[in-house]
Structure 1
Amino acid sequence: MTSPRTTGTAPRSALTRARVLESAVALADRDGLGALTMRSLARELGIEAMSLYHHVANKEDLLDGVVDIVAAEIQDVVGRLEPLADDAPQSSWKPAMRRQILTARSVLLRHPWASTVLETRKSFSLHVVRYYDSLIGLMRRGGFSYDLVHHAMHALGSRALGFSQELFEPDGATAGSAAGGGAKEGADDAATAMLMQMADQVPHMVEMLAAVSHADADPTLGWCDDQTEFEFGLGIILDGLDRLAERERN
């Protein structure tokens, strides 16, 4: 009896839904959301495109899956934060919530395409729901009524998860664009030039752009230095909620 012939290559690991989704996240991280197609993902995995449909039903199912992967990563890093002590003062809710939201944002900065996908999902990831539930718990620790919590969640919106939609976002400067800053910088320059040409129609906008420089901004999720703008907006919302909670407590 002869033994099976072996080759010099290691056997390919079994294809699973988890492996498909992890490869999809890696592909989007490297090449941008626009590069994530069923065909390109199949090439990434070294398989025929039809084989993917045993693990993801279609492109929407794929996008639901990659959101779940990122949301699970958020849950993991947030879960490693030091919890509030049982005897922590009520005022501790605000720094704890700020820390949790900025920790979630740090994950989105590693996956800059993910916020674009999150905005389009019609179904909830359990990881996302559990994350929001933990924010509700922090606000309850701060003495918020459920009515105020409800208003707070609407006020925070996607900011609670670590991103906010840009009011003005030039084509090519979105989080879904290919990796690298060249396209984003070019789009920023083109948008600024367009506004300058409209100076007589939008004088206040042009004066603002002249007064505020974003030239030294690090790579972010949107136009301008949106890490600074994100933290500024988050601070305003949390300060306002803190004052409302204080009124309720008194």
Structure 2
Amino acid sequence: MMMSEKRVGGAFPIVWITIAAAACAPLLLWLRSRPLLSPDVFDHARYNAELGYQLTTLALAAVMIALVYAMTGREGLSYLSLKKRDGSIRPEPWIGIKPKAGETWRHLGLNFAVVITLVTAIVIYFQIVHGKSVSFDLFPGIPLILAFALVNAFCEEILFRFSFVAVVSRSGYSPYLAQGLGAAVFGIVHYFGNPGGIVGVLMAAFIGWFLAKSMLETKGFFWALTIHFLQDVVIFSALFME
């Protein structure tokens, strides 16, 4: 059967999910500066601001899940599984991904989790921490770092990875389309994020591409969420030490 015969719904689902995900990028930046919620739970203003932002993005992620479900049904939601952690690796020689015999996503996911986290730590140190005096609250600082990192990673993976992966896969298009869209949107929005600037764009674009690849090839959410969570632990730790 030819690829064109396998496609479901034509290009319209791809167009709509791209519009929805692309709209979320500036919306998140707007919500950072103009929060819809202003909780007064903690003594630290940064903690309260982050709590309000994360609660809002959770609602946004729920809307995106509902939208994906409307387009793909249960087939699309299957990519949210945390139990699917393994799968064959599609070689990407241009980026150095040349799996050896017997090497699967259990190996690649762990290796890249370590590498990406270390690279993020180095970049964040020089962009945020270096040359500044820092202080840190063990409590509630550490529990909030872990909680915010998990929520932020989950929401951004829903908005900028799961959305593309589920809809593109259901529509029968090339996985590289989902990876490219995930890389482009995630990369552009990080020009104004942490890490930021051109370095932030390049890092985020690669990570967006790689995490979409992980979802497509494992058919699950585990490595995308885990790697993004570890990154965000580093980022929130630096931000909360300012």
TM range (shorter): 0.3 to 0.5
Higher relative CO (CA 8 A, sep ≥ 6), structure 1 or 2? 2
TM-score (norm 1): 0.35
TM-score (norm 2): 0.35
Question: As a proportion of its length, which structure holds more helix?
Answer: 2
